[in-house]
Amino acid sequence: MEVKRILTERGVRATRGLGQYFLIDDDVAARMVEYAGVGSGDVVLEIGAGVGSVTEKLARKAKKVYAVEKDKELCEILRERYVNKESKTEVKVIEGDIMKIELPEFDKVVASIPFSLSSPITYKLLLHDPGFGLAVLLYQKEFAQKMVAKPRSNLYGRLSVIAQTLADVEILEFVHRDAFYPSPPVKTAIVRLTEKEKGRRIVEEKRKFFEFVSEAFEHRRKKMRNIFKPSKTSFPGSLALEELEWRPEELSPVKFVKLMKYI
């Protein structure tokens, strides 16, 4: 797909300040769709569709594609290229801010998302009430590493705990800078998030869990006992007393879930 040519002809420029980098490597886009196992029965959500690098691949595989894009000019390009075309796949372009719109019903997410919105988009998917199913997303390398980080490591934090509690997280491959236009200043990675069914059962109220973990990591060097100051009656017997003496950066996602139940 000649992304550079399309952008030049339409006078569209990437906004680096917004983390806007267009994926131009067709092979990377194709592998993302393969990693998601997109089939003829899938309804797929794409976030930050741009000029359609990933949309083009999804339109060959999925039952339906919701291509969300905030930029009006880019939406026009997407409609010209993919809407009302002779294809078994229905492509619907949604013009709007992904953080403000109500998400349509979907089975999977495949997207090269704006890097500046990595955190809010990820949390929106993880906390999405009906669930998100499976997502294959392009992130900055360090952000991806935070998602899979282990306790006591420098990158371990709120994102690590919430992502690993609610999903199986895999870094599938690192992507070279030349796969984008303009070339980003950092390396990127393809990450697959597979929603955990047990995550829904363990954390019945995902938003409360999000708030609990967020508050803990605002004081990551303090012991949990000093952050939440639970009463003695909160813990029957010696249950979870050991975890109370630990700091947030030392607690595994499983231990966070355990503590939330009793604090």
| Residue 135 shares a structural domain with residue 219 | no
| Residue 157 shares a structural domain with residue 240 | no
| Residue 129 shares a structural domain with residue 246 | no
| Residue 134 shares a structural domain with residue 185 | yes
CA-to-CA separations, 124 to 2, 99, 204, in angstroms, rounded: 32, 8, 16
Average pLDDT taken over every residue of the chain? 91
Which of 170, 199, 228 lies at the terminal end of a domain, its last residue? 199
| Residue 69 shares a structural domain with residue 42 | yes
Which of 148, 168, 199 lies at the terminal end of a domain, its last residue? 199
| Residue 186 shares a structural domain with residue 220 | no
* Torsion over CA: 191, 132, 149, 185 (sign): positive
Question: Rounded to whole angstroms, how far apart are CA atoms 203 and 147?
Answer: 18
Identify the CATH number of the domain in which residue 211 sits: 1.10.8
| Residue 113 shares a structural domain with residue 29 | yes
Among 42-46, 176-180, 201-205, the range scoring the smallest mean pLDDT is 201-205
E strand spans, 148-195 = 167-175, 180-181, 188-195
| Residue 207 shares a structural domain with residue 188 | no
Q: Are 98 and 68 in contact (CB under 8 A)?
A: yes
| Residue 208 shares a structural domain with residue 176 | no
pLDDT reading at 240 higher than 70? no
Record the pTM: 0.93
Question: Rounded to whole angstroms, how far apart are CA atoms 204 and 202?
Answer: 6
Q: Enumerate residues 6+ apart whose C-beta is below 8 A from 27.
A: none
| Residue 24 shares a structural domain with residue 82 | yes
55 phi-psi bin (left φ>0, alpha ψ -120 to 50, beta other): alpha
Instruction: Work out how many domains the chain is built from and give that number.
Output: 2
Token output for 41: 């029965």
pLDDT category of residue 7 using cuts at 50, 70 and 90: confident
pLDDT category of residue 18 using cuts at 50, 70 and 90: low
DSSP calls for 240-260: THHHHTS-GGG--HHHHHHHH
Angle subtended by helix axes 158-166 and 253-262, to nearest 10? 90
State which amino acid sits at residue 146. Answer: K
Helices (H), 88-196: 118-126, 141-148, 158-166
Identify the CATH number of the domain in which residue 118 sits: 3.40.50.150
Question: Rounded to whole angstroms, how far apart are CA atoms 17 and 165?
Answer: 31
Binning the chain into helix, strand and coil, the percentages to the nearest 5 are 45, 20, 40
| Residue 185 shares a structural domain with residue 239 | no
Span 133-166, pLDDT tens digits: 999 999 999 999 999 999 999 999 999 999 999 9
| Residue 145 shares a structural domain with residue 173 | yes
152 phi-psi bin (left φ>0, alpha ψ -120 to 50, beta other): left
Which of 199, 229, 250 lies at the terminal end of a domain, its last residue? 199
The domain containing residue 45 runs over which residues?
A: 3-199
Token output for 34: 């393969």
